[in-house]
């Protein structure tokens, strides 16, 4: 039996769910494999499916939020907004699929080269195959069963097999029902292949020969265990991991001087929102020496001192919070600037905490502490900022607070190699889901070349195929001469939709 825990009390209650048996995992994977063998999916049908899922998420939002709040303690406001984001993601991908650029359709017509006839080559991206989607603890909707990996895999036309996160099994089961209910009214319902529960089932799943790619959000250690399971496969498959991130945030001398209080307010909200359990939480804050910096540090510390207690998602996160916070203090000389005086005893409650460390120690020893926690370090000149960012692990984001043509802007080129997104005068949390978004970065932030958020995340689940001198009947519709409903590249030239049908005899 799989239990569900109430983070606010720590109490566990039984569910009707069970760890998925090996035989059943195999059956679900085989079902996904069967779905992958079906004839080509039409783009419009996939868009209808994605929109139907968005509708169903919205229709059942209250129920989803209530269930998720009992399992995660993330609170109604945050969860309502997250469910809206999840619905929005499905709608974004419906638009992506309808627009059709993501297929990267290209046609090079036959011609004559120096060594004789050049064959015709037509290329398009096709679904990579069944995708295993691992739910995350901290986003029960937007990075779980109803999350971006599911939406982008379906947009690619890939069957999905879900792995429920142990922090919210009931939410996961309910989310699967949302998916299946919506899909039941559409074509392509077979793309929702099923869900598995339990760590052993997850490990079996990624080793199943049917699975062609894995999307995962979680800790570095959990990711490494999965990667090691994947490496035992005869044929390696892509593993898209969303792991840990320090997200340095740098405040310029000028910004500290003119808006210390406003930055303290925004930063506090960004560090402690969702109990600090966001992968883009600014974990390392670099503040200049001097009176502006002092005022910012004091204002931030003051807010931490009066912070209400925070409830984290599960006992593992709570224990890890205490362990890492302890290591940074005792082991690496972190000085507590402020900690709220709240009672840690009940459920998975933790005390929001701000510590200060010396810059060289941050460069060597900073590590992500998931929860309402941040490290402050003071800097003297811009060289120190570059040095610490270069020596720390790369991140999903780097943020700068500047004023006008601030001298701090000159370090941006040196910071770019160490993050996927550079944020100015704002906060890295609250990721916009849109066409141009990039949520990734150099290792270990996540895959260097791809993103887990935004329209282009669909690229992770597509692979190119080229057809050489193919009869039209075997070609995908989008590659046929007379088709022009999506953007295509013909003989190297990009054509917008409505303008790219191939004219013959010209």
Give the footprint of its own copies on residues 413-472 (CB under 8 A): 413-414, 416-417, 419-426, 430, 432, 434-438, 440, 442-444, 448-451, 454-456, 459-460, 462-471
Task: Give the nearer residue to its own copies in terms of CB position, either 2 or 92.
Answer: 92
| Least gap, CB of 139 to its own copies (angstroms) | 15
Calpha distance 96→43 (Å, rounded):
10
Task: Check if 390 is active-site.
Answer: no
Task: Give the nearer residue to its own copies in terms of CB position, either 463 or 480.
Answer: 463
| Binding residues for its own copies restricted to 202-231, rule: CB under 8 A | 212
Q: Please pick, from the candidates 1, 16, 112, 115, the single residue that binds its own copies as defined by CB under 8 A.
A: 115
* Site size toward its own copies, by CB under 8 A: 85
| Least gap, CB of 385 to its own copies (angstroms) | 15
Calpha distance 353→337 (Å, rounded):
8
Q: SS3 helix, strand, coil % of the chain, rounded to 5? A: 45, 20, 35
Task: Give the nearer residue to its own copies in terms of CB position, either 12 or 118.
Answer: 118
Within 198-308, where are the H helices?
Answer: 199-207, 220-231, 253-272, 291-305
Task: Give the nearer residue to its own copies in terms of CB position, either 114 or 506.
Answer: 114
Task: Give the nearer residue to its own copies in terms of CB position, either 251 or 349.
Answer: 251
Calpha distance 91→87 (Å, rounded):
6
Residue at token pair 């005893």: 345
Let me know if 311 is exposed, middle or buried by CB neighbors in 10 A (0-12, 13-18, 19+). buried
| Least gap, CB of 411 to its own copies (angstroms) | 10
| Binding residues for its own copies restricted to 156-185, rule: CB under 8 A | none
Task: Check if 416 is active-site.
Answer: no
Q: Please pick, from the candidates 84, 186, 225, 502, the single residue that binds its own copies as defined by CB under 8 A.
A: 84
β-strands 248-251, 395-401: how paired? parallel
Q: Is 485 in the site for its own copies (CB under 8 A)?
A: no
Task: Give the nearer residue to its own copies in terms of CB position, either 305 or 489.
Answer: 489
Give me 234's structure tokens: 């005869």
Task: Give the nearer residue to its own copies in terms of CB position, either 175 or 451.
Answer: 451
The DSSP secondary structure of 452-479, one letter per residue, reads SSSGGGGGGGEEEEEEES--GGGS-GGG
The DSSP secondary structure of 136-171, one letter per residue, reads PSS-TTTTSTTSHHHHHHHHTT--EEEE--TT-HHH
| Least gap, CB of 189 to its own copies (angstroms) | 20
| Least gap, CB of 71 to its own copies (angstroms) | 22
Q: Is 75 in the site for its own copies (CB under 8 A)?
A: no
Task: Give the nearer residue to its own copies in terms of CB position, either 8 or 495.
Answer: 495
Q: Is 387 in the site for its own copies (CB under 8 A)?
A: no
* Cβ proximity of 169 and 2 under 8 Å: yes
Only one of the segments 24-32, 114-122, 267-275, 327-335 lies at the binding site for its own copies (rule: CB under 8 A); that segment is 114-122
Calpha distance 104→351 (Å, rounded):
49
Give me 96's structure tokens: 């992506």
Task: Give the nearer residue to its own copies in terms of CB position, either 345 or 449.
Answer: 449
| Binding residues for its own copies restricted to 88-107, rule: CB under 8 A | 95, 99, 101, 104, 106-107
Phi, psi of 400 (to 5 degrees): -125, 135
| Least gap, CB of 299 to its own copies (angstroms) | 22
Q: Please pick, from the candidates 81, 181, 257, 298, the single residue that binds its own copies as defined by CB under 8 A.
A: 81
| Binding residues for its own copies restricted to 230-259, rule: CB under 8 A | 235-238
* Cβ proximity of 243 and 278 under 8 Å: no
Only one of the segments 108-116, 182-190, 257-265, 340-348 lies at the binding site for its own copies (rule: CB under 8 A); that segment is 108-116
* Cβ proximity of 487 and 496 under 8 Å: yes
| Binding residues for its own copies restricted to 287-346, rule: CB under 8 A | none
Catalytic choice (71, 279, 356, 368) = 279
Calpha distance 247→446 (Å, rounded):
13
Beta bridge mates, 117: 112
Q: Please pick, from the candidates 129, 135, 148, 202, the single residue that binds its own copies as defined by CB under 8 A.
A: 129
User: What letters, b where the CB count within 10 A reaches 16 and e where it falls short, cover 120-158?
Assistant: eebbbbbbbbbbbbbbbbbbbbbbbbbbbbbbbbbbbbb
Site string for its own copies, 340-379 (x = CB under 8 A): ----------------------------------------
**R_g of the chain computed on alpha carbons:** 25
Catalytic choice (242, 356, 368, 478) = 242
Q: Please pick, from the candidates 394, 429, 446, 484, the single residue that binds its own copies as defined by CB under 8 A.
A: 394
Give me 444's structure tokens: 């270990």
| Least gap, CB of 55 to its own copies (angstroms) | 16
Beta bridge mates, 477: none
| Binding residues for its own copies restricted to 16-45, rule: CB under 8 A | 36-37, 39-40
Query: Which residues are the active-site residues?
Result: 242, 279
């Amino acid at each position: 039996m799989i239990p569900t825990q109430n983070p606010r009390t720590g109490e566990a209650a039984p569910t009707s769910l069970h760890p998925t048996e090996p035989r059943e995992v195999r059956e679900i994977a085989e079902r996904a494999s069967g779905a992958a063998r079906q004839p080509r999916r039409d783009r419009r049908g996939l868009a209808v499916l994605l929109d139907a899922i968005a509708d169903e998420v919205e229709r059942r939002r209250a129920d989803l939020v209530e269930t998720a709040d009992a399992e995660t303690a993330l609170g109604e406001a945050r969860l309502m907004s997250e469910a809206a984001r999840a619905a929005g993601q499905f709608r974004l991908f419906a638009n992506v699929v309808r627009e059709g650029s993501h297929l990267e359709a290209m046609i090079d017509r036959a011609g004559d080269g120096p060594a004789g006839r050049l064959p015709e080559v037509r290329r398009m991206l096709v679904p990579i195959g069944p995708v295993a989607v691992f739910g995350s603890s901290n986003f029960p909707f937007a990075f779980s069963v109803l999350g971006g990996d599911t939406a982008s895999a379906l947009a690619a036309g890939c069957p999905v097999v879900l792995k429920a996160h142990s922090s919210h099994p009931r939410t996961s089961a309910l989310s699967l029902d949302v998916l299946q209910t919506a899909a039941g009214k559409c074509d392509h319902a077979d793309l929702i292949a099923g869900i598995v529960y339990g760590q052993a089932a997850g490990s079996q799943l990624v080793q199943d020969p049917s699975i062609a790619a894995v999307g995962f959000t979680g800790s570095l250690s959990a990711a490494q265990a999965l990667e090691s399971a994947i490496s035992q496969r005869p044929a390696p498959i892509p593993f898209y991991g969303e792991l840990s991130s320090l997200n340095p945030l740098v405040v310029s001398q000028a910004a500290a001087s003119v808006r210390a209080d406003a930055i303290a307010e925004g930063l506090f909200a960004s560090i402690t929102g969702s109990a600090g359990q966001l992968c883009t939480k600014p974990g390392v804050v670099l503040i200049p020496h001097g009176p502006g910096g002092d005022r910012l540090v004091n204002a931030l510390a003051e807010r931490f001192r009066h912070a209400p207690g925070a409830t984290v998602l599960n006992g593992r996160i709570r224990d890890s919070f205490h362990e890492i916070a302890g290591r940074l203090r005792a082991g690496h000389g972190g000085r507590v600037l402020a900690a709220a005086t709240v009672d840690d005893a009940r459920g998975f409650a933790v005390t929001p905490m701000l510590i200060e460390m010396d810059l060289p120690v941050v460069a060597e020893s900073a590590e992500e502490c998931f929860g309402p926690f941040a490290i402050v370090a003071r800097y003297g000149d811009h060289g120190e900022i570059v040095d610490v960012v270069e020596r720390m692990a790369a991140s999903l984001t780097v943020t700068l607070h500047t004023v006008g043509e601030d001298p701090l802007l000159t370090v941006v080129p040196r910071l770019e190699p160490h993050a996927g997104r550079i944020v100015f005068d704002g906060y890295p949390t609250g990721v916009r889901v849109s066409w141009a978004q990039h949520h990734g970065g150099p290792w270990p932030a996540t895959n260097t070349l791809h993103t887990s958020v935004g329209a282009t995340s669909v690229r992770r689940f597509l692979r190119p195929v080229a057809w050489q001198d193919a009869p039209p009947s075997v070609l995908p519709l989008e590659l046929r001469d007379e088709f022009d409903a999506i953007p295509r590249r013909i003989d190297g030239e990009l054509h917008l939709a409505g303008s790219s049908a191939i004219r013959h005899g010209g």
